[in-house]
């Protein structure tokens, strides 16, 4: 099934209805406040290296937010702090007003695709998903559903050790989608995807945001993200250097090179 | 918590390594039983009853497999970085380890419950063929103790895996310690040796040693449990809090 078709259909679980042609659906208030990412004066030091320094921003639902910056700017560290995997040295990060570690059902609140997502090579894609679905207490049919969403059903019963980088990336996305989350956080999600895969991912993320959900994407692929991002956050050396809406027709590459110089 | 334990069991059941280790455990016990049967006639201070009990105590040799299962179940997640997914689903890292303790307790119990009857059957057959008495007082207690000790090593493996995190290092440390260092210390310093994990497990399994007085079985169990608890607590206080990068 074409995932694009599937996700623009009305979905009762997001409150708002999206009928007919795709348009910006405003989700109800409670849902909106549930899915705002707020980063407040966030800092992280590794020894003497200040990886993230006094970083503050918020990521709103209903939009794709691009999270940009040079290698070593602190993007991955910031995302891992939002996800409770890395403990901040100072400041805080919350999703829907709560630190990730305090979320009751984190998988239904936030889906994450981290850079170079790892899998046990000896397990099949289905088993990988089944383990996490069971741990999260989600409905059994979610596994087949997300496999179908990322077009991985045909490879579901193959060991992940034989997967290409693109297939692993799809499996990582499937894992992130298990809980049908209101927030998607993706670190370099297009890595290893072939052109058709990139095209598909672009449509997928766009549609996800159109449903009123929050999408935060860290990437170096400016030309790609340019096509779907509504908002841009650029950091460099662990500090914020630009945040603002991405106006139609503006040159993202020029802006990026200008502020990270 | 039930969901987390079930998830661990799904993972264990799907792993080829787990299946291989579970099959190897009773086979190893049966092979080990040959040794004390062969030594039945040898000189020494042990009584015939002690020697017969020691044949059945070989059910404890499955310990190395449950220890490995526990280590692979935790340190393996760090090695393959799948621990990132686990902590995303369950940010309370202590709960993840608790679920692993419960799950590998169950897996360890299964391994022990297969190994003990296998050792009993093989031991009885070998003793019978060798013309020795087939049973002695206290054999059921020895088998029960072995089941508890083998299960306990699975829990200890989880604790060590969570504490050391590096799978290769954890396996190396565990094998060197439990197969050699602990035995060596027991030989050199019996007073200390009987209080070490191996000594506690042997006491629990009701083994008799020629050169070392073991603790009573009722003391061996709690002492072994204390070692498991110490490893888990150390993991929670030291390594589990670290950043997952």
Residues of A with CB under 8 A from a CB of B: 77, 80, 83-87, 100-103, 106-107, 110, 112, 114, 117-124, 127-128, 130-132, 134-137, 175
Calculate how close chain A gets to B66, using CA atoms only, in Å: 20
- Would you say residue A2 has pLDDT above 60? no
Tens of pLDDT along chain B (245 residues)? 899 999 999 999 998 899 999 999 999 999 998 888 888 877 777 788 888 888 998 998 999 999 999 999 999 999 999 999 999 999 999 999 999 999 999 999 999 999 999 999 999 999 898 888 888 888 888 899 889 989 999 999 999 999 999 999 999 999 898 888 887 887 888 778 788 888 888 888 766 665 567 788 788 888 989 999 999 999 989 888 888 88
CA angle centred on B152, ends B139 and B231, rounded to 5°: 150
B10 to A107: CB separation less than 8 angstroms, yes or no: no
**pLDDT one-digit tens code per residue, A55-76:** 999 999 999 999 999 998 999 9
- Could B76 and A120 be called an inter-chain contact, meaning their C-beta atoms sit closer than 8 Å? yes
Q: Which residues of A touch B80 (CB under 8 A)?
A: 118-121
- pLDDT (0 to 100) of residue B187: 80
Please tell me the predicted confidence (pLDDT) of residue B212: 61
A–B interface: beta-carbon pairs under 8 A? 80
Answer yes or no: is A112 within a domain: yes
Under 8 Å between Cβ of A127 and B14: yes
Q: Which residues contact A260 (CB under 8 A, 6 or more apart)?
A: A69, A70, A73, A234, A236, A241
Whole-number pLDDT of residue A16 = 32
The answer to whether residues A195 and A158 touch, using CB atoms and an 8 Å cutoff, is: no
Q: At what angle do helices B48-56 and B16-38 cross, to 10 degrees?
A: 160
Cα A154–Cα A155–Cα A157 angle in degrees, nearest 5: 110
* Residue B203 near residue B148, CB atoms below 8 Å: no
3-state class of A259 per DSSP?
helix
Would you state the pLDDT for residue B38?
Answer: 83
Residue A181 placed within a domain:
yes
A56 occurs within a structural domain:
yes
Each residue of A35-54: pLDDT tens digit? Answer: 799 999 999 999 889 999 99
Cα nearest neighbour of A172 on chain B: B85
Domains in chain A, number: 1
pLDDT at position A8 is 39
| Average pLDDT of chain A to the nearest whole number | 85
A195 domain-assigned? yes
Residue partners of B23: CB distance under 8 A and separation at least 6: none
pLDDT at residue number A121: 93
CATH number for the domain including A36?
3.40.50.300
Query: Is the residue at A16 inside a domain?
Result: no
Domain span holding position A43: 3-11+24-259
The count of other CB atoms within 10 Å of the CB of residue A104 is 7
The pLDDT, as a whole number, for residue A9 is 36
Q: Give the nearest partner residue to B7 out of A80, A83, A135, using CB atoms.
A: A135
Tell me which chain A residue has its CA closest to the CA of residue B93.
A101
User: So what's the pLDDT on residue B208?
Assistant: 63
A149 assigned to some structural domain: yes
d(CA B61, CA B57): 8
The residue of chain A with its CA nearest to that of B4 is: A135
Q: Is residue A103 part of a domain?
A: yes
Contact A69, A234 (CB under 8 A): yes
Q: Which ipTM was obtained for this model? A: 0.87
């Amino acid at each position: 099934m074409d995932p694009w078709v599937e996700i623009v259909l009305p979905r009762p679980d997001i409150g708002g209805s999206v009928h007919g042609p795709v348009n910006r659906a405003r989700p109800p208030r409670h849902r909106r406040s549930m899915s705002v990412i707020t980063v407040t004066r966030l800092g992280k030091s590794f020894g003497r290296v200040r990886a993230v320094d006094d970083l503050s921003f918020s990521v709103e639902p209903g939009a794709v937010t691009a999270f940009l910056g040079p290698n070593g700017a602190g993007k991955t560290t910031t995302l891992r702090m939002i996800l409770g995997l890395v403990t901040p040295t100072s400041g805080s990060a919350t999703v829907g007003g709560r630190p990730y570690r305090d979320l009751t059902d984190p998988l239904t609140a936030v889906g994450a695709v981290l850079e170079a997502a790892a899998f046990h090579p000896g397990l099949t894609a289905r088993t990988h998903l089944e383990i996490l679905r069971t741990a999260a207490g989600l409905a059994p049919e979610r596994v087949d559903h997300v496999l179908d969403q990322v077009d991985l059903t045909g490879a579901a019963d193959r060991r992940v050790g034989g997967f290409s980088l693109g297939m692993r990336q799809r499996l990582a996305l499937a894992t992130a989608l298990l809980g049908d989350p209101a927030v998607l956080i993706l670190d370099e999600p297009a890595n290893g995807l072939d052109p058709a895969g990139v095209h598909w991912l672009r449509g997928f993320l766009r549609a996800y945001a159109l449903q009123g959900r929050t999408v935060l994407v860290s990437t170096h692929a400016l030309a790609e993200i340019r096509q779907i991002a509504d908002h841009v956050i650029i950091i460099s050396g662990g500090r914020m250097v630009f945040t603002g809406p991405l106006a139609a027709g503006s040159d993202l590459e020029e802006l990026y090179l200008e502020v990270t110089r | 918590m039930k969901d987390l334990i079930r998830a661990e069991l799904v993972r264990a059941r799907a792993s080829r390594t787990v299946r291989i280790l579970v099959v190897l455990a009773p086979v190893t016990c049966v092979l080990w039983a040959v040794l004390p049967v062969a030594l039945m006639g040898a000189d020494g201070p042990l009584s015939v009853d002690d020697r017969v009990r020691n044949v059945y105590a070989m059910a404890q040799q499955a310990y190395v497999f449950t220890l490995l299962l526990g280590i692979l179940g935790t340190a393996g997640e760090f090695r393959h970085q799948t621990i990132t997914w686990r902590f995303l689903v369950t940010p309370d890292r202590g709960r993840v380890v608790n679920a692993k303790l419960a799950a590998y307790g169950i897996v360890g119990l299964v391994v022990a419950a297969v190994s003990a009857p296998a050792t009993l059957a093989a031991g009885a057959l070998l003793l019978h063929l060798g013309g020795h008495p087939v049973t002695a007082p206290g054999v059921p207690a020895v088998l029960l103790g072995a089941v508890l000790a083998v299960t306990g090593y699975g829990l200890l493996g989880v604790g060590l895996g969570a504490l050391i995190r590096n799978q290769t290092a954890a396996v190396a440390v565990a094998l060197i310690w439990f197969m050699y260092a602990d035995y060596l210390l027991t030989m050199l310093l019996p007073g200390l040796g009987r209080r070490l994990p191996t000594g506690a497990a042997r006491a629990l399994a009701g083994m008799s040693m020629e050169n070392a007085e073991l603790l009573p079985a009722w003391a061996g169990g709690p002492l072994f449990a204390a070692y498991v608890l110490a490893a888990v607590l150390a993991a929670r206080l030291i390594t589990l809090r670290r950043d997952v990068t």
